[in-house]
Amino acid sequence: MTDHKTGTRDQWLAARLDLLKAEKELTRRSDEITRQRQELPWVRIDKQYRFDTDEGSASLADLAVSFTEKQQREDGIAYNCRTIPAETWRSFMQAPQSIPSVLAIACGLDAAAYSRELPGMSAFALEDGGVYHTYSTYERGLDILWGAYHWLDRAPLGRNEPDEWWRRRD
């Protein structure tokens, strides 16, 4: 038996029309945020990054999703447009039931090693031979890029996640 509210078709339709109004407002708001995102100033990337790959040499811009042990232990990390002091980061990582600790154990790593790389996405533009950083997003800001989430958010039980569900696999 379901624990969810049940009702008549008329009740469902009335509730759905209220939700439709909210969804339309969200779509209009999303369009406004997209406009703001596109108006962010571009920042020229002058630092050269070179990596050797199987396909040859490649360039890459690094924008605060990878961290060194020293940053984690002593300096703190800059992530998601904020600075997390080393002491705060260490106490979070060392908590035995923290999400990174639990996921790290599942992967055979310690929490510090597990969280030396965190999720993030950046966009760049190439114009007149220059490379420009135009946008970055992190953490829940990435949900929009993971298409399955939008399908799950419309399912009766949503994502049905008690906590973080993904596992890192090397």
Q: Is residue 57 part of a domain?
A: no
pLDDT score at 169? 47
In a domain, 86, yes or no: no
d(CA 45, CA 157) in angstroms, rounded, equals 44
E-state strands within the chain: 43-44, 51-53, 56-58, 77-79, 82-84, 120-127, 130-138
Is the model more confident about 133 or about 53? 133
The more confidently predicted of residues 41 and 169 is: 41
The predicted structure's pLDDT at residue 53: 59
Q: Is residue 92 part of a domain?
A: no
Share the mean pLDDT of the chain: 81
Structural domain includes residue 32 = yes
Asked if the structure places residue 25 within a domain, the reply is yes
* Best CA proximity match to 62, nearest among 72, 43, 48: 48
- Residue 64 CA neighbour count, 13 Å, CB half: 15
Within a domain: 136: no
140 three-class SS: helix
Q: How many CA atoms lie within 13 A of 65 on its CB side?
A: 13
What tokens does 87 get?
């002491």
Cβ–Cβ under 8 Å, residues 98 and 106: no
Would 83 be classed as within a structural domain?
Answer: no
Q: What is the structure's pLDDT at 52?
A: 59
Domain-embedded: residue 30:
yes
Number of folded domains that form the chain: 1
Look up the domain containing 32 and give its range: 8-39
Q: Between 86 and 1, where is the model more confident? A: 86
Of all residues in the chain, the percent with pLDDT exceeding 70 is 85
